[in-house]
Structure 1
Amino acid sequence: MLWFCSHGVQVPLLLSSPVFLPSQLLSRFFDKPGNATFAFLQNLTRKLTRSLFMERFNLSLLTLLSLAGNLFVGEIPPEIGNLTQLRILDLSSNSLTGKIPTQIGNLTKLEVLNLGNNFLSGSLSETHFTKFQSLTTLDVSNNSLSGNIPPGIKNLISLTDLYIGINRFSGLLPPEIGPLPSWIGKWNQIESVLLSSNRLSGKIPPEVGNCSMLNHISLGNNMLVGQIPRELCNADSIMEVDLDSNFLSGTIQDTFLMCRNLTQLVLVDNQIVGSIPDYLAELPLMVLDLDSNNFTGFIPLSLWNSTTLMEFSAANNLLEGPLPKEIGNVVTLERLVLSNNQLRGTIPKEIGNLTSLSVLSLNLNFLQGIIPSELGLCTSLTTLDLGHNRLGGMIPEEFGDLAQLQCLVLAHNELSGPIPFKPSSYFRQVSIPDSSFVQHHGVFDLSYNKLSGTIPEELGNCVVVVDLVISNNRLSGEIPVSLSRLKNLTTLDLSGNLLRGKIPAEFGNSLRLQGLYLGNNELTGSIPPGLGGLNSLVKLNLTSNKLTGSIPVSFGNLNELTHLDLSSNGLEGELPSSLSSIVNLVGLYVQENRFSGQIDELFLSSLAWRIETLNLSMNSFAGELPRSLGNLSYLTYLDLHGNMFEGEIPSELGNLMQLEYFDVSGNRLSGLIPDRICALTNLFYLNLAENRLEGSIPSRGICQNLSKIYIAGNKDLCGSIMGLNCQIRSFGRKTFLFSSWVLGGIVVGSVLLTVVVALALIKWGIRSSRQNDDEDVDESKLNSGTFGYIPPEYGQSWRSTTRGDVYSFGVILLELVTGKEPTGPDFKDIEGGNLVGWVSQKYNKGQSVDILDPNVLSADSKQAMLKVVKIAIACLSDNPANRPTMLKVLKSLKEIKNE
């Protein structure tokens, strides 16, 4: 609609939207200079240019220009300053950009200037305000204006409404105009001040009370500090106070006591302390929002007797005490949010009186008892959140009468019994009369309870459900096919139950699904190939079921998928190479299945992968590790243990600069440990145990840190971390040679036990039954990485001591007389989990004979072996001071030899 007014006669011109305004069309109305005094344009969509409105036409008599609510773009032309008769200029709600022209300050007769809801930038200058003596309304809110508020704003003495919120203004209020009260004190007619969503700092000064006509002040979302001045209520007319999202502190014990007309008080997200004062119940409050502060104590009983209160929210505080039965008195209440406090006791049945209640959230408290069935009388409820409490009993069937319910959260309680399945009307009403209070549309969350029985087929009729979460209960039976009819479903979480049967193939039609979680159930059968058609799917979790078959090739079409967890099932076959097409994949978990074959093809085209976690462990994968694994530059977790990989570890894995966890234990890998892997700076866990690796362990990075590397079971490895010089690779049955023996980098020294000492044992055939005469000793048995030889005090300090050397020698003696490894699965149930713990347990029970290696035990050797055990026990004392010296140990062994 386009209106022109000339000499008191209004002429309407109807135009469709959008429309182009050619100069010929406008010239029909503006061809005579000075004719028009009024122009109002609405629902137009074209570019605002200088030539169109300012240069071509003379509008010198124009008093009102309103172009609000269009889609005009571009800058405000400076020629607008020629419209000197303008009293109202409204360019709000367009897409104007650039700075506000200084020429706008020439419009000395302006009474209303509205530039709000655009994309204007730059700062407000002094010239904008010097001559605006008649301005009553200034609105530049919701733009991108920045800088300080100019002192010239003090000259707007006729101002009644100021809206500069939602910009990027910063700093303190202008010192030239004094504190805020002096500034607005000059505007004795001002009614509204909106300064929200800027970067204003400092305190709210008490002189704000000078604004005697003030009825609405909004200073939210700034950086204001200090206490709220009680002088704010000097203005009897004040009705709305919004101070949310600042750093205001102190109490409000008498701050708003004199605000007798206050209807809205919003103090959300500050640092206010103390209790909620009783006097608030005497005010005509309709909205009381105290969320995210540090309020303590009980909620005033008198507040529940309010006859005006419609919204009361005090979530995220430290409130305590019970909910009284008087809660049923505040029948005007539409929104009650008290989540994340310390409320206790039961939910009173009187709450059923609140028939206007739309939102009830008591989440994260300590409420107990049953859920009152009277809640079913609150037929206006759109959101009901009682999650994270201690509520028990059954879910009331009366909930089925809540026709407007759009959000139901009962998660993390102790509810039992079945999910009510009587015919219900909730989650079916697509639109409700007033949905402004609905917190989360379509959430149905009963997770983490003790619910039993089957999933009702009727849930498939709740067409409004978006997130259906009933995980971690005791539900049984099959997954209802009816759930696939929920066309708005984006999340389905049935994990952690006792569900059986197959995954319904019909879920392939749930095209809006973003998260499908069916893990930790007893599902059988194969994975439906149709799931590969869920183009919006982000997370798929089928872990810990009894699924069989292979991974559908169609999964390669899941372009949005970030997490795929198929672990702990009975899946088999090869991993389809199409998985490498899932370019957004972050986590792939297929461990503990029966997958086989090689994985070369999977990573050939993986350069685009952003994968961070890859777990292929505990399968039957074979072949060499692909060098292309080194292309996965985002990888932080790589677990390939428990397979049949062979060949060398690719040095290209040294490219994985983000890698933190790497496990290839229990494979058939051979060759050297790549030096580049040891140099990875983020790697904190490296497990290479139980392979066929050989050669020197690199002397750098994690490979020299006993607490982070595991290399047991690689008999051909050597190096300082193992205590073995790579030039001395074995010792025979007649000599123990420990040359430059290092425990975690601590040099113990050189000890040569000659044939004389060794024969003290060999005389009776005491030798390791694990070693033949011509066999090399398995150096990994001396691998300090297993901690089998390390004295307990080294856990507190790695400082080498001679008493620590004695402890390690005692372990070797036990190996010889028991025929057992220093660590291993034989000791998993033993305190300490090692040979020392097992021997100590037997020895203390007087069962020393059970310790001895039966392969070499004889009547002749028994006593000598028991004496060696006694020496070893002395060497292994937890108190280093009680251990014998090495000289005393050698003397004792010689004595055994000479007997």
Structure 2
Amino acid sequence: MPFLNFPPSSLFLLFTLSFFHFFAVGLFSNVDYDILIRVKNTHLDDPDGALKDWVPNQAHTPCSWTGITCDSTNLSVLAINLTTSNIAGGFPYDFCRIPTLRNLSITVTNINGTLLSPSFSLCSHLQLLNLSSNLLVGRLPEFSPLFTQLQILDLSSNNFTGDVPLSFGQLPALRVLRLTMNLLDGPVPSVLGNLSQLTEMAIAYNPFKPSPLPSEYGNLLKLENMFISTANLTGPIPGSIGKLAMLTNLDLTFNSISGPLPDSIGGLRSIKSIQLYNNRISGELPESIGNWTSLSRLDLSQNSLTGKLPDKFAAIPLEILHLNDNFLQGEFPESLASSPHLTDLKLFNNSFSGTLPQNLGLNSPFTEIDFSSNHFEGNIPKFLCQQNRLQKFILFSNSFSGNFPESYGACDSLVYVRVEDNQLSGEVPDSFWKLPKLNSIQMSDNQFQGSIPPAISLARDLQVLLISGNNFSGQLPAEICKLKELVRFDIGRNKFTGGVPSCITELQKLQKLDMQENQFAGEIPKLVQFWKELTELNLSHNQFTGKIPPQLGDLPVLTYLDLSSNLLSGEIPEELTKLKPDQFNLSNNKLTGKVPSGLVNEQFVGSLLGNPGLCSSDLKPLNRCSKPKPSSFYVVVILSVLAFVLIGSLIWVIKFKMNLLGKSKSPWTATKFQRVGFDEEDVIPHLTKGNIIGSGGSGTVFKVNLKTGQTVAAKSLWRGHNQSDIESVFQSEVETLGRIRHANIVKLIFSCSNGEGSRILVYEYMENGSLGDVLHENKSEALSDWSKRLNIAMGAAQGLAYLHHDCVPPIIHRDVKSNNILLDAEFCPRVADFGLAKTLERQTEGNDAGVMSRIAGSYGYIAPEYGYTMKVTEKSDVYSFGVVLMELVTGKRPNDPSFGENKDIVKWVTEAALSEVEEKGLSLDEIIDEKLDPRTCEVEEIAKILDVAVLCTSALPIDRPSMRKVVEMIRDTKLPPSKS
């Protein structure tokens, strides 16, 4: 062997080095091993057992433990990664006593407390420190001059406050800095302009003091990503930004940046994405934009830009161009029509005019077009779907004329079409109605004619069909009944004739059905019991005959019923008195008999006029009812009716109990989620008519007083109707509420089911019912104190924040509304009804986990993007919660008729808020609920809550705050108690 020829001195040296190598391996391994064991046992709480393999072993090495990476040569610890381990406790400084440690990542856990600067110096040898998504508080730590190796620092999504220390600008090797989603409230730190090696700066979503974008940032010559959204930036963009020749992504959205774009911005020669939307940028677009030869995304929407679109846009390889919500004008540039890359073009809410280039789309692979609310005219270009990729086609509120192009009947990719409020005419191509992916068709207020073809049955995904205000005619085809996903159906103000297909009552997901001002005849379909989700039914101004179906009164959420101006006869069904209408109109028919006692209310007088045969002893100017003379015949009739009712009720009770308790049938399977002293046998016998306290789209709710003295609420889900949906609701409630605990989430006590489809859920009982009931059902005096409403807002926000940020995976409620916020005896809120809830799983390639198959939620609360993208995120819940905040302030329902046509509470409050700023229109006093006690109204608090509500209901999801942020903002609205 070769080493046998080595001289003795060389052999001695070789053996000496080997000895020290093995000694060093053992030394490093033992020291690291001891430190890690000590930290786990004395500093950390490990509730999920994520560190269960951190236990003593014979080799005295931690290199096989969870989250540990070692040097393969000397077995020293190089990295610790405890991401999503759910560990808790203060920051484990002793990890940094491992001298070879270079990377430390403890993210998405429950590490809390502060970072103490003296102890923090132990970590000066780190190259990467990631403590994002934890519960750290207090000031940011000071970095001593020893931190010469730190390259990546991520402290985002915590609760740090105060200024960014000057020492942050003295980290010579720092390449990545992330401080997003904290509570930093000092000025935007100019000292970061000293970080000469920085490639990524992310300091967005912090409530910094209003500050300009520091001109010092122009010194960051290696910067590639700048993310400073929602940071209270003011003033103009400094000219020094043009020096950032390496910048690829610029995001300064949702600030108050003003002034024109500097001409120097053309110096961003590597830029790929510029997002400056939702600012106050004014002036014309600079000519230097032609230098953006790599730019693929430009979003300057929601600013105050003026002037025309420069022809230089044609030289930019744009894929996404958003210029909506500005003051741009002029014609669409012919040169831009030839762009070979453009997929997403949004120019809505401007003052563009003229005709669109007829070759638009011929070379562009469009997926989305939105030119709405401009002054465009002429024909619609026929090539917008030339490459069969167009999904969203939005041109409403312009002056387009001519026919709807035949070419769109072959556009199989179309999902969302909105062309209402134009001057379009002619017949819509038959091939268009049957496009397989169509989700929404909105063509109202044009001059279209022709009929709806039977082929519409092939558009099986259609959820919204709005074609009112046209000249459509003919009979409504029975094939419309095959559109089982239909949620909104409005064919009002047309020339339809004939009867309404009776199968229309099989559309179980309908929420709004409007057929007013046509020439429909025949009877109203009677089998309406499947319309469990219907909130609006308008059949007015037609020629319907026959009687009003009593079953309409059993629809659980119907709040808008207009049957006026028809030929309806007979008496008003007593069942209609069970409705809780916002809008109710039976006027101008041929109704007869006595007005039911439940409708004897001055507010309904106008809804009953025009029926000469109606009478009432209390309502003027209706005819006064004559008193019938008693006779033996009437006595017999009354006794017969009473007997019938008694026998019927007895049969109902017996049948109900037999279904629930029948021992000969499937046994009950119960699951308990709380420690209780009762079971299903103590609950089920109380599910009787006399104990009903509410009903909804999925079932009936009963109040149950148990023999233990406890009161609970039991929901019996509907049987025999859409059983797959009911099973989905049941499983969602059980899987969601069965595993979470929070003071502001309703407690599920137990569930039970049997093999025959009966499903029962038992919850804690909430004495004051729902927030919606208290606000809108003449009970609002209970919430006359503003502080109660503010506490409800805070509690509900905390419950939703828990779902979004503390549950793994996050839970999206999908049906946040005032009726799903319950109130206990002290008016403390609980978020309830998780039948539509979904977990937001991590998306994988080819699987968009956030996309839903149908519209879920309640009208008035649904985020605008949800109706046409079907993509659900936590920001959908944030929008709905913003609507609830508006309800709390105004006391009005989301779709209150007082807002005016085509206006909901979001638009009404937002416009009022803008008017208040501009000192015109409604004042704040006119918005606030008149039932609030003026002595308790803190106007400053209410104004701040409205600001939060407007922010939550921003049109773009990215502009809405997280629920965690909402909680902080609500907390910040509370004024300190006044000093006596």
Structure (1/2) with the larger helix percentage: 2
The answer to whether the 8 A contact 1:665-1:689 is kept is no
CA spacing shift, 1:604–1:615, aligned 2, 3 Å = closer
Q: Which AA in structure 2 matches 1:451?
A: F
Q: Which deviates more, 532-541 or 597-606?
A: 597-606
2:126 is the counterpart of 1:145: no
2:47 is the counterpart of 1:80: no
Identify the residue that residue 771 of structure 1 maps to in structure 2: none
Q: Which AA in structure 2 matches 1:311?
A: S
Deviation at 1:221?
Answer: 2.1
SS in 1 for 2:537: strand
2:79 is the counterpart of 1:112: yes
Deviation at 1:123?
Answer: 4.2
The answer to whether the 8 A contact 1:418-1:453 is kept is yes
Deviation at 1:651?
Answer: 2.9
Task: Return the match for 2:234 from 246, 270, 273.
Answer: 273
SS in 1 for 2:504: helix
Pairing 1:705-744 to 2, within 5 Å after superposition: none
Pairing 1:682-693 to 2, within 5 Å after superposition: 690-693=621-624
Deviation at 1:359?
Answer: 0.8
Deviation at 1:644?
Answer: 2.7
CA spacing shift, 1:203–1:559, aligned 2, 3 Å = farther
SS in 2 for 1:209: helix
CA spacing shift, 1:228–1:393, aligned 2, 3 Å = same
The answer to whether the 8 A contact 2:265-2:288 is kept is no
Identify the residue that residue 578 of structure 1 maps to in structure 2: 527
The answer to whether the 8 A contact 1:501-1:524 is kept is yes
Identify the residue that residue 161 of structure 1 maps to in structure 2: 128
The answer to whether the 8 A contact 2:463-2:487 is kept is yes
Identify the residue that residue 768 of structure 2 maps to in structure 1: none
Identify the residue that residue 789 of structure 1 maps to in structure 2: none
Deviation at 1:139?
Answer: 2.3
CA spacing shift, 1:149–1:532, aligned 2, 3 Å = farther
Identify the residue that residue 720 of structure 1 maps to in structure 2: none
The answer to whether the 8 A contact 1:466-1:489 is kept is yes
The answer to whether the 8 A contact 2:550-2:576 is kept is no
- How far apart, in 1, do the equivalents of 2:145 and 2:525 lie? 74
- How far apart, in 1, do the equivalents of 2:570 and 2:147 lie? 83
Deviation at 1:197?
Answer: 2.6
SS in 2 for 1:477: strand
CA spacing shift, 1:369–1:604, aligned 2, 3 Å = closer
Q: Deviations over 1:547-589 (max 9, x none)?
A: 1122222222222221111111111222212333111111111
Pairing 1:193-592 to 2, within 5 Å after superposition: 193-248=153-208, 249-284=210-245, 285-354=247-316, 356-421=317-382, 426=386, 428-429=388-389, 442-592=391-541
The answer to whether the 8 A contact 1:549-1:571 is kept is yes
Q: Which deviates more, 616-625 or 260-269?
A: 616-625
Q: Which AA in structure 2 matches 1:650?
A: P
Identify the residue that residue 560 of structure 2 maps to in structure 1: 613
SS in 1 for 2:185: strand
Q: Which AA in structure 1 matches 2:351?
A: R
CA RMSD for the aligned pairs? 3.3
- How far apart, in 2, do the equivalents of 1:651 and 1:82 lie? 80
- How far apart, in 1, do the equivalents of 2:229 and 2:357 lie? 33
Q: Which AA in structure 1 matches 2:226?
A: L
CA spacing shift, 1:671–1:378, aligned 2, 3 Å = same
Q: Which AA in structure 2 matches 1:325?
A: E
2:645 is the counterpart of 1:645: no
Task: Return the match for 1:135 from 82, 101, 113.
Answer: 101
Q: Which AA in structure 2 matches 1:206?
A: L
CA spacing shift, 1:498–1:85, aligned 2, 3 Å = same
CA spacing shift, 1:642–1:202, aligned 2, 3 Å = farther
* Structure 1, gaps ≥5 residues long: 1-36, 38-58, 64-72, 93-107, 174-178, 430-440, 674-687, 696-701, 704-899
The answer to whether the 8 A contact 2:197-2:222 is kept is yes
Q: Deviations over 1:40-85 (max 9, x none)?
A: xxxxxxxxxxxxxxxxxxx99x99xxxxxxxxx9641534243652
Q: Which AA in structure 2 matches 1:297?
A: G
SS in 1 for 2:407: helix
Deviation at 1:591?
Answer: 1.4
SS in 2 for 1:525: strand
Identity of aligned residues (%): 26
CA spacing shift, 1:660–1:394, aligned 2, 3 Å = farther
Deviation at 1:530?
Answer: 1.4
- How far apart, in 1, do the equivalents of 2:160 and 2:477 lie? 57
- How far apart, in 2, do the equivalents of 1:654 and 1:80 lie? 74
Q: Which AA in structure 2 matches 1:691?
A: L
The answer to whether the 8 A contact 2:200-2:223 is kept is yes
CA spacing shift, 1:599–1:425, aligned 2, 3 Å = closer
CA spacing shift, 1:366–1:654, aligned 2, 3 Å = same
- How far apart, in 1, do the equivalents of 2:169 and 2:278 lie? 31
SS in 1 for 2:441: strand
Deviation at 1:384?
Answer: 0.7
The answer to whether the 8 A contact 1:475-1:498 is kept is yes
Q: Which AA in structure 2 matches 1:624?
A: E
SS in 2 for 1:331: coil
- How far apart, in 2, do the equivalents of 1:577 and 1:148 lie? 64
Q: Which AA in structure 2 matches 1:664?
A: L
- How far apart, in 1, do the equivalents of 2:557 and 2:145 lie? 59
Task: Return the match for 1:670 from 612, 615, 624.
Answer: 615
SS in 1 for 2:321: strand
SS in 1 for 2:496: coil
SS in 2 for 1:547: strand
Q: Which AA in structure 2 matches 1:148?
A: G
Task: Return the match for 1:636 from 572, 578, 582.
Answer: 582
CA spacing shift, 1:238–1:541, aligned 2, 3 Å = same
- How far apart, in 2, do the equivalents of 1:281 and 1:310 lie? 14
Q: TM-score, normalised by structure 2?
A: 0.55
Deviation at 1:291?
Answer: 1.1
Deviation at 1:260?
Answer: 2.2
Pairing 1:30-49 to 2, within 5 Å after superposition: none
SS in 1 for 2:529: helix
Q: Which AA in structure 1 matches 2:276?
A: A
Deviation at 1:538?
Answer: 1.4
Deviation at 1:265?
Answer: 0.9
- How far apart, in 1, do the equivalents of 2:318 and 2:543 lie? 55
CA spacing shift, 1:196–1:89, aligned 2, 3 Å = farther
CA spacing shift, 1:90–1:602, aligned 2, 3 Å = same
SS in 1 for 2:325: coil
The answer to whether the 8 A contact 2:54-2:66 is kept is no
* Structure 2, gaps ≥5 residues long: 1-24, 26-32, 38-46, 69-74, 627-776, 779-980
- How far apart, in 2, do the equivalents of 1:555 and 1:311 lie? 48
Deviation at 1:449?
Answer: 0.9
Identify the residue that residue 96 of structure 1 maps to in structure 2: none
Deviation at 1:293?
Answer: 0.7
SS in 1 for 2:335: helix
CA spacing shift, 1:401–1:228, aligned 2, 3 Å = same
The answer to whether the 8 A contact 2:338-2:364 is kept is no
The answer to whether the 8 A contact 2:124-2:150 is kept is no
Q: Which AA in structure 2 matches 1:665?
A: L
- How far apart, in 2, do the equivalents of 1:622 and 1:168 lie? 66
Deviation at 1:133?
Answer: 4.4
The answer to whether the 8 A contact 1:469-1:494 is kept is yes
SS in 2 for 1:366: coil
CA spacing shift, 1:123–1:579, aligned 2, 3 Å = farther
SS in 1 for 2:452: coil
CA spacing shift, 1:313–1:596, aligned 2, 3 Å = same
Q: Which AA in structure 2 matches 1:258?
A: N
